[in-house]
């Protein structure tokens, strides 16, 4: 009996011990979960404080920029006796002035009072008012501006200025957290947060075909009025200049990489503009279609679509249709590569440019120039017409009247009068009033010459056109469509 009782006692002790052990495990797990939750809260609080610290540190150096641009308009009632009689002398003035107001942001970079902003914020401004975060107001002066990069430097006369630190935009990674500070819609010192959505973006700007390149894309909210404000990394360093948005698109904003800005600051301050090395050619990518038309075995190099008159390239002998292969013995295989290599050559220095022309390799020594400043703003034969289903184009000969109406410097080529929607020509962006100078490397100025080239084409083949638009030429390869 004693043995049985002892066994029961031991069993109860084991069960009690196990229960205590399980309760301990449960308590330890509860404590661990509570600690983990506490750590999460602490990490979130730390992250939140970091963003707040960035805003608190850099906010004082972000300024509000208000501009006034005076526009003159024609008075439609000038010298109208009826309106003059009823409304007074205001209708006896030929022009009227209308103030156009704008707003934007900027940030102070040194104690001399230099402020970085966007060119479009201060473009043609007659008055500039700069307001600091502490409420002080100053008259601003544009020291330098550059349309190409959309950058401007504004100067104020002030003491004890808060500053920002400039970072390294080349080290930015897609997905990295960034903070934008600015004055959207006139709401001063607005802070937004997001990530770097993409790098190296190219976006069109305005109706002149200009393209801003190498932009940072971010989903940190950027709205009108944010332009010119800083985009900051988690170290509190400026990595971009908030610049543009896509209208009606949420979460898509763009900023100029600060490394581009750093290259331009000294030029803008010292010369009032950005000095850029210049070759003087309009260039385009060598696609497989273009390579085939130029009898190239590989789609390599950069095609010269046009040469600017009185440019370094023209002086050296480079011509339309040349394929640039090397600059100073280094290969170039994209327009961007060529632009970067030329841009890194000092103005006035010589460069060796190797090209291929009609299958022959030729080298030129070109003295690199300074890029011109970009400004934004008898009996006649009957007209011949042809509608080519194969190419999707309707063309006619350029006459003296057409050349005069379009401001052409010559009377030659064929004018495009219609483009079939959905055709290869339409897909490539050809438009009415474009002038076709060559078809498959052959000059064309009459429908007869045009048809001779077209009749040699096979359905599915490529027609290479040299097109004149906006005062320069470029090549357009289009597919010849099969006739049903």
Compare 96 and 146 and report the one with higher pLDDT: 146
Question: Measured on CA atoms in the order 464, 468, 474, 478, is the torsion positive or negative?
Answer: negative
Question: Which of residues 484 and 480 earns the better pLDDT score?
Answer: 480
Q: What is the mean pLDDT of residues 393-420?
A: 84
Rounded average pLDDT over 140-163? 93
List of residues 6+ apart from 12 with CB closer than 8 A: none
Query: Same CATH topology for 60-155 and 165-263?
Result: yes
Mean pLDDT of 270-276: 90
Q: Which has more pLDDT, 95 or 183?
A: 183
Q: Is the pLDDT of residue 204 over 80?
A: no
* pLDDT score of 210: 53
Helices (H) then strands (E): counts for the chain: 10, 29
Which has the minimum average pLDDT: 41-45, 296-300, 345-349, 415-419? Answer: 41-45
| Segments making up each domain of the chain, as ranges | 60-155, 165-263, 277-370, 385-479
The confidence score (pLDDT) of residue 247 equals 62
Give CA separation, 276 vs 298, 314, 341, 343, 353, in Å: 31, 18, 12, 6, 18
- Fold of the 385-479 domain: Pdz3 Domain (2.30.42)
**Per-residue pLDDT at 357 exceeds 90:** yes
- Report whether 306 contacts 474 (CB < 8 A): yes
Counting residues of the chain whose pLDDT is more than 70, the rounded percentage is 79
How far apart are alpha carbons 241 and 235 in whole angstroms?
Answer: 16
Any idea which residues carry the catalytic annotation? 120, 150, 227
Which of 42-56, 220-234, 290-304 has the lowest average pLDDT?
42-56
**Tokens 């401004």 found at:** 125
* DSSP 8-state assignment for residue 381: P
Residue 3: predicted pLDDT: 46
Question: Does the pLDDT at position 74 exceed 80?
Answer: no
Q: What does the DSSP assignment read for 281-296?
A: EEEEE--HHHHHHTT-
For 15, 59, 202, 412, 467, the CA distances from 254, given in Å and listed in that order, are: 68, 20, 10, 43, 32
For domain 277-370, say whether CATH 2.30.42.10 is its number: yes
Least confident of 31-40, 190-199, 453-462: 31-40
Q: Which two tokens stand for residue 306?
A: 């046009």
Per-residue pLDDT at 386:
45
- Asked whether the predicted pLDDT for residue 1 surpasses 80, the reply is no
Topology classification of domain 60-155: Thrombin, subunit H (2.40.10)
* CATH architecture of the region 165-263: Beta Barrel (2.40)
CB 423 within 8 A of CB 405: no
Give residue-wise pLDDT tens across range 156-178.
999 999 999 999 999 999 999 99
Q: What is the pLDDT of residue 2?
A: 47
Q: Which residue has the higher pLDDT, 422 or 478?
A: 478
pLDDT band at 447 (very low <50, low <70, confident <90, very high): confident
Tell me the average pLDDT across 225-229: 87
pLDDT of the residue at 385:
46
CA-closest candidate to residue 363, choices 352, 349, 351: 352
pLDDT at 387 over 60: no
Mean pLDDT across 437-464 = 83
User: Nearest to residue 468, comparing CAs of 438, 445, 448, 446?
Assistant: 438
């Amino acid at each position: 009996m004693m043995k049985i009782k002892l066994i029961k006692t031991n069993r109860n002790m084991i069960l009690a011990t196990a229960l205590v052990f399980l309760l301990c495990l449960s308590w330890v797990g509860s404590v661990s979960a509570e600690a983990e939750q506490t750590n999460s809260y602490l990490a979130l609080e730390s992250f939140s404080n970091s963003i707040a610290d960035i805003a608190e540190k850099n906010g004082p150096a972000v300024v509000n920029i208000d501009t006034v641009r005076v526009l003159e308009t024609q008075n439609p009632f000038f010298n109208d006796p009826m309106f003059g009689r009823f409304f007074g002398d205001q209708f006896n003035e030929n022009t009227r002035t209308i103030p156009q107001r704008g707003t934007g942001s900027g940030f102070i970079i040194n104690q001399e009072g230099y402020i970085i902003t966007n060119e479009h914020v201060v473009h043609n401004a007659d008055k500039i008012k700069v307001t600091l975060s502490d409420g002080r107001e100053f008259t601003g002066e544009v020291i330098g501006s550059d349309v190409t990069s959309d950058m401007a430097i504004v100067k104020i006369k002030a003491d004890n200025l808060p500053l920002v630190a400039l970072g390294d935009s080349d080290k930015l990674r897609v997905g990295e957290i960034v903070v934008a500070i600015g004055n959207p819609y006139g709401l001063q010192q607005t802070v937004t947060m997001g990530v770097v959505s993409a790098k190296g973006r190219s976006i069109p700007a305005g109706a002149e075909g200009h393209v801003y390149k190498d932009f940072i894309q971010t989903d940190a909210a950027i709205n009108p009025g944010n332009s010119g404000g800083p985009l900051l990394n988690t170290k509190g360093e400026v990595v971009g200049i908030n610049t543009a948005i896509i209208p009606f698109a949420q979460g898509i904003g763009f900023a100029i990489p600060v490394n581009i800005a750093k290259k331009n600051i000294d030029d803008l301050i010292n010369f009032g503009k950005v000095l850029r090395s210049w070759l003087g050619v309009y260039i385009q990518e060598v696609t497989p279609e273009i390579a085939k038309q130029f009898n190239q075995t590989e789609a390599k190099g950069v095609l010269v679509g046009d040469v600017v008159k009185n440019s370094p390239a023209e002086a050296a002998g480079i011509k339309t249709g040349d394929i640039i292969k090397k600059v100073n013995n280094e290969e170039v295989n994209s327009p961007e590569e060529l632009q970067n290599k030329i841009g890194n050559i000092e103005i006035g220095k010589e460069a060796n440019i190797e090209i291929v022309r009609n299958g022959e390799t030729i080298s030129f020594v070109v003295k690199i120039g300074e890029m011109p400043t970009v400004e934004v703003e008898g009996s006649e034969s009957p007209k011949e017409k042809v509608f080519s289903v194969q190419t999707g184009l309707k063309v006619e000969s350029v006459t003296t009247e057409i050349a005069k109406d379009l401001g052409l410097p010559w009377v030659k080529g064929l004018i495009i009068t219609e483009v079939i929607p959905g055709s290869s020509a339409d897909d490539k962006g050809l438009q009415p009033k474009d002038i076709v100078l060559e078809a498959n490397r052959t000059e064309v100025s009459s429908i007869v010459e045009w048809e001779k080239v077209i009749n040699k084409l096979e359905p599915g083949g490529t027609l290479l056109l040299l097109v004149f638009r906006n005062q320069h030429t470029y090549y357009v390869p289009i597919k010849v469509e099969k006739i049903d």
